[in-house]
Amino acid sequence: MADPTIISCAVTGNITTKEQTPYLPVTPEEIANAGLEAVRAGAAIVHVHVRHPDGRPSMELAHYREVVERLRAADEDVVINLTTGPGQRFVPSVDDPKVAAPGTTLMRPELRVAHVAALRPELCSLDLNTMYSGSSVVINTPANLAIMADMIREAGAKPELEVFDSGDIQLGNHFIEQGRLEASTLFQIVLGVRYGAIATPETLVYLRSLLPAGAPWSAFGVGRWEFPMLAQAWLLGGHVRVGLEDNIYVEKGVLAESNAVLVRKAVRIVTELGGRVASPGEARELLGLRKQAPRPA
């Protein structure tokens, strides 16, 4: 029998807003509860960004700590995946492009993984992309990514490599060849972001062909491509991801009233195609993860 399919749920992100959907969780309690509801609906992994109470993106350790403590204290088993994406954006000034304009978040790589070092999750994302995004440029240099990868390994966590195009996969493969990353590192293929990999079956087949032999992988599409790419990823043997970070609609014109609604639809698609959904314990086994305790505050 084929391995079960891991469903990840990205419950809030840092771009979706309350103006777009009133169902977006923003406080630590709301984010943790949304994650637990997603697990009860069939997700094995909860991908965590944090927010300020007013909905603004946050990098505060206290916010991460509260979400993680709530998830770890719950009766439900859950694989926690913390983001390291914030801190990578540069907005060039119109008058002088080398000067940072408001909205720039670019910072030293050590600060972007400080919460991972402190809270020691099982998984954390590691974005390998450098690309234009919205009104900003996302910058992830190989040198900075190497620092982050080393700190993630020292924290006992496993990186999930978020790749947005073929060059990102080449960079991940190079880190594996160097021994900086394990050959069993999880690749997460992102489809449908403007100026990144387009959300088509042909694109996904090509990107999958660049992955190391036997490496676990997952894929997701943003916006209206979420469920078509979910089905395509399953057909190609990959794991899948849904959540309000990536898409706010359960069907055309109908807002998803929770992350759990999106997870339940993902479960239905996987099972109706003939698959089986992985439990958190099975996800740990498939990805080689281990539970850890946080370092003392």
pLDDT tens-digit profile of 143-183?
A: 999 999 999 999 999 999 999 999 999 999 999 999 999 99
Q: Quick check: is 97 in a domain?
A: yes
Per-residue pLDDT reduced to its tens digit, 241-263? 999 999 999 999 999 999 999 99
Per-residue pLDDT reduced to its tens digit, 214-226? 999 999 999 999 9
Q: Quick check: is 1 in a domain?
A: no
Distances from the Cα of 223 to the Cαs of 40, 238, 242, in angstroms?
24, 19, 10
Instruction: Work out the pLDDT band at 297, boundaries 50, 70, 90.
Output: low
Q: Quick check: is 199 in a domain?
A: yes
State the CATH number of the domain containing residue 156: 3.20.20.70
pTM of the model: 0.96
Give the per-residue pLDDT at 244: 98
Q: Which amino acid is at 275?
A: G
Q: Quick check: is 297 in a domain?
A: no
Other C-beta atoms closer than 10 Å to the C-beta of 163 total: 26
Q: Six-digit token pair at 167?
A: 């060059």
Total count of residues recorded for the chain: 297
Residue with tokens 């000034």: 93
Give the per-residue pLDDT at 126: 98
Residue with tokens 């959540």: 243
Q: Which amino acid is at 220?
A: F
Question: For 95-165, where are the alpha helices, taking DSSP H only?
Answer: 109-112, 114-119, 142-154
Q: What whole-number distance in Å separates Cα of residue 80 and Cα of residue 146?
A: 22
Per-residue pLDDT reduced to its tens digit, 83-96? 999 999 999 999 99
**Mean pLDDT of all residues in 186-202:** 97
Q: Name the domain count of the chain.
A: 1
Per-residue pLDDT reduced to its tens digit, 13-35? 999 999 999 999 999 999 999 99
Q: Quick check: is 75 in a domain?
A: yes
Backbone angles phi, psi at 272, to 5 degrees: -70, -25
Q: Quick check: is 295 in a domain?
A: no
For the cut 70, the answer to whether the pLDDT of residue 78 exceeds it is yes
Q: Quick check: is 175 in a domain?
A: yes
Q: Quick check: is 261 in a domain?
A: yes
Mean pLDDT estimate for the chain = 96
160 is in which domain, residue-wise? 7-287
